[in-house]
């Protein structure tokens, strides 16, 4: 690899991870909005049932896989390394959100949900990356 290719590959690496992160965020928030608008979820700021948080966890698992897949497919090299970086970023973001909302009230959900979101980021991203790496 030449010196001129390195900055380009670094930018492609950053773009691949950012694309996966944005995909997970947009899909998650978009689904949340649709479910709120459809009346499946209560109005924003109101507490939800455990079953609805389980539903949110389920689709966030799928979206985590999608994010890892996208990241690995777009990675200029080392697709699994990129997927793992995405998963680590997701874990850190999840832990920060968990700490920020820990005792804020029932509208932020049960503690298991916050911990689950942080815990699923890395394995989901890894599995999505694995699926993409097999296709390359």
Judge whether 110 and 45 are in contact, CB under 8 Å.
no
CA torsion, ordered 119, 80, 82, 4, to nearest 10 deg:
170
φ, ψ for residue 12, nearest 5 deg: -65, -35
pLDDT over threshold 80, residue 4: no
Distance CA(106)–CA(104), nearest Å, equals 7
Contact 125, 71 (CB under 8 A): yes
Percent of the chain with pLDDT over 70: 96
| Averaged confidence pLDDT in the chain | 94
User: Which structure tokens are listed for 133?
Assistant: 């790496």
With a threshold of 0.85, does the pTM exceed it? yes
Q: What is the pLDDT of residue 14?
A: 97
Tokens representing 58 are: 């389920």
Predicted confidence band at 51 (pLDDT cuts at 50, 70, 90)?
very high
Do the beta carbons of residue 80 and residue 129 sit within 8 Å? yes
């Amino acid at each position: 690899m030449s010196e001129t290719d390195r900055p380009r590959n670094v930018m492609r690496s950053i773009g691949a991870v950012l694309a996966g992160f944005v995909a997970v965020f947009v899909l998650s928030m978009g689904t949340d909005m649709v479910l709120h608008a459809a009346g499946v979820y209560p109005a924003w700021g109101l507490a939800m049932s455990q079953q609805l948080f389980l539903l949110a966890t389920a689709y966030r698992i799928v979206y985590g896989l999608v994010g890892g897949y996208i990241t690995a497919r777009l990675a200029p090299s080392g697709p699994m390394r990129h997927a793992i970086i995405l998963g680590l970023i997701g874990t850190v973001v999840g832990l920060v959100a968990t700490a920020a909302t820990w005792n804020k009230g029932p509208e932020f959900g049960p503690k298991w949900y916050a911990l689950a979101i942080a815990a699923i980021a890395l394995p989901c991203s890894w599995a999505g990356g694995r699926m993409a790496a097999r296709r390359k």
